[in-house]
Amino acid sequence: MSKRIIIIGGGPGGYVAAIRAAQLGAEVHLIEKESFGGTCLNVGCIPTKALIHIADQYNELKKAAKHGLLADNPRIDWKAVMKHKNDIINQLVDGVTWLLKSNKVTVHKGQAVLKDSQTVIINGDNSYELAGDAIILAVGSKAAKIKFPGSELEGVIDSTQALELPLIPSSMTIIGGGVIGVEFAALYSALGAKITIVEMLPEILPPVDAQITAIIKNELKKSGVEIMVESSLTSIEKRGSNLIAKIKTKDGDKKVESQYVLIAVGRKPNTDTCKPEAANIQMNGSAIAVNDFFQTNIPNIYAIGDCNAKTMLAHAASAQGIAAVEHIMGCNPSYNSNVIPYCVYCTPEIAGVGITEAQAAEKGIPVKIGQFSMAGNSKALIEGNDTGLIKIIAHAESGKILGAHMIGPRVTDIIAEIAVAMTLGATADDIVKTIHAHPTVSEAVAEAVHGVNGHAIHWPA
């Protein structure tokens, strides 16, 4: 029996859920008020990484002479860079639109809100109602805002505005040393801006393995980024064309002058847009409470992606969308919350999956650690990217892979190998038995896994 599924939100959770639902034979209605792809595609992951790629290429050109490649006076055409970024976005949005059409998903343009547990109101050029057997809320998140004296001044920006600057900034103070803050620091420092990161906690990138954090912190400092930890913004004032950020630190009050101040203190669920209270949906603060199938306390209403705040990553939203739809359609969904990779697109890249060494210690899990430096990897040396580390965490008794944390070239791609291994319950010995091609960066994974048992081949004992 076919079901009518209504999905509110066309981001990486919503549009993937719509396609999977259509594949399973549902009548699917997808409601989106703006462009398909959500924050990730339009004002998040994709445009940020497009600009970071250009910045990396620019830096490689500047360093090329020491490798024998003469590329004198590389310059940046910022207008062309921004066009390139927007062209990528438009191509991908068009691709999602075509996928929805080819899967016969009915698209509604407008702002959708819940009327009750089975009905939504779509407010667009004309307002109308739509009822369904199941409703999936995929309304995403928005940049968290903080209020302080000077928060409304021109030049105080969020991550969306930081992607649309008219010129490369001369300087920027970034409030928040999480993933968003570090990526923008890497981007604009590579393009020549003077960057200061202000983080309240004792370290930047707080969820990341401590060894990895230490390496990226050192690399950022080498590129000219000033990092102020255990520090907080108190106010901002204008001085000519610049801004003065007043910072409270453990060593006293300080002032930092810059052209822009980027507020990058995280994101919060965008649930106020869909009126969950109209259907008496249970909340966890601003997030929607869900069970393991992403089902709310109202059995036919589901919430996926950032709006449930379980794992605020685009690929987690997509996987949750598939799981929710399969549950609605009576299938046996699979969603492993213990194996969700994360990536940070700084230079060098960071990636990880599973538990860290510190988390294992906190939980009393006996582990063995294998490590391998990128300085011993031939492909990394060839490319001039020998800074980095692969760290593998395996159970001390069973040998099962429990986590991996990496910094270095291409680690955002090769982390998938460990994610697959963990999903299959593989041990360190299983990966050791897998022959890795040479010369590749991925060989460093095999070397690190050899190191779990103290048998790394290309690194001193």
Average pLDDT rounded to a whole number, residues 135-145: 96
End-to-end Cα separation, the chain, in angstroms: 63
Give 104's contacts (C-beta < 8 A, 6+ positions apart). 22, 28
Model pLDDT for residues 260-300, shown as the tens digit of each residue: 999 999 999 999 999 999 999 999 999 999 999 999 999 99
Whether 261 contacts 236, CB under 8 Å: yes
Of these residues, 53, 67, 315, 438, which one is catalytic?
Answer: 438
Structural domain including 419 reads 348-452
Task: Write down the pLDDT at residue 72.
Answer: 84
448, amino acid identity: A
Same domain, 285 and 301: yes
Going edge to edge, which strands form the sheet with 4-8?
A: 106-109, 27-32, 4-8, 134-137, 301-303
CA angle 21/267/239 to nearest 5° reads 145
Last residue of a domain, one of 265, 288, 309: 265
Is residue 337 included in any domain, yes or no? no
Last residue of a domain, one of 278, 297, 328: 328
370 shares its domain with 400: yes
Same-domain check for residues 261 and 294: no
Alpha helices per DSSP H over 64-130: 78-102
Cα–Cα distance for residue pair 264/178, rounded to 1 Å: 8
User: Within this chain, do residues 32 and 131 fall inside the same structural domain, yes or no?
Assistant: yes
Looking at the fold, whether 173 and 236 belong to one and the same domain comes out as: yes
Tens-digit pLDDT profile for residues 402-416: 999 999 999 999 999
Q: How far apart are CA 306 and CA 420, in angstroms?
A: 24
| Position 461 in a domain | no
- What is the per-residue pLDDT for 455? 87
Number of C-beta neighbours around residue 251 at 10 A: 9
Flag whether pLDDT at 1 surpasses 70: no
How many secondary structure helices (H) and strands (E) does the chain include? 13, 25
Whether residue 324 is found in the same domain as residue 409: no
- Asked whether residue 195 falls in the same domain as residue 135, the answer is no
Exposure of 167 by Cβ count < 10 A (0-12 exposed, 13-18 middle, 19+ buried)?
exposed
**421, 390 in Cβ contact below 8 A?**
no
- Per-residue pLDDT, 63: 86
pTM of this prediction?
0.96
CATH of the domain at 415: 3.30.390.30
Which residues are within 8 A (CB) of 282 and not within 5 positions of it... i.e. 6 or more apart? 288, 289, 296, 297
pLDDT in tens, 258-271: 999 999 999 999 99
Asked if 302 and 326 touch (Cβ cutoff 8 Å), the reply is no
pLDDT digits (tens, 9 = 90+) for 443-457: 999 999 999 998 889
- 167 and 90 in a common domain: no
220/282 same-domain check:
no
| Residue 450 is among the residues annotated as catalytic for this protein | no
pLDDT of residue 230: 97
Q: Is there a domain that residue 336 lies in? A: no
Q: Within a domain: residue 259?
A: yes
Q: Answer with the one of 247, 265, 283 that is the final residue of a domain.
A: 265
C-alpha span between 437 and 430 (Å, rounded) = 16
Residue pLDDT, tens place only, 214-233? 999 999 999 999 999 999 99
Is the Cβ–Cβ distance between 407 and 348 less than 8 Å? yes
Shared-domain flag, residues 249 and 375: no
What number is the average pLDDT over the span 3-25?
A: 98
Q: What is the pLDDT of residue 257?
A: 98
Do 290 and 306 lie in a common domain?
Answer: yes
Percent of the chain predicted with pLDDT > 70: 100
CA distances from 82 to 50, 86, 127, 171, 209 (A): 9, 6, 36, 19, 34
- What pLDDT band is residue 126 in, cutting at 50, 70 and 90? confident
Q: Give the model's pLDDT for residue 65.
A: 84
What distance in Å separates the CA atoms of residue 244 and residue 380, rounded to the nearest whole number?
A: 41
Supply the pLDDT for residue 380: 95
pLDDT of res. 124:
79
Task: Look at residue 339 and tell me if it is in a domain.
Answer: no
Please give the tally of structural domains in the chain. 3
The label of the residue with tokens 């009915």 reads 106
pLDDT tops 90 at residue 394: yes
Which pLDDT score, from 0 to 100, does residue 67 have? Answer: 86
Q: How far is CA 104 from CA 20, 28, 29, in A?
A: 11, 8, 9
- Classify residue 172: in a domain, yes or no: yes
Q: What is the pLDDT of residue 64?
A: 85
Is residue 433, in this structure, part of any structural domain at all? yes
> Are 17 and 101 contained in the same domain?
yes
Distance CA 306, CA 267 (A): 9
pLDDT mean over 192-213: 96
461, pLDDT greater than 80: no
User: Residue 228 belongs to a domain with what CATH number?
Assistant: 3.50.50.60
* Helix-strand-coil split of the chain, %, nearest 5: 35, 25, 40
pLDDT averaged over every residue in the chain: 96
The confidence score (pLDDT) of residue 456 equals 85
Residue-level pLDDT at 459: 85
Q: Is residue 457 part of a domain?
A: no
What tens digit of pLDDT does each residue of 323-375 get? Answer: 999 999 999 999 999 999 999 999 999 999 999 999 999 999 999 999 999 99
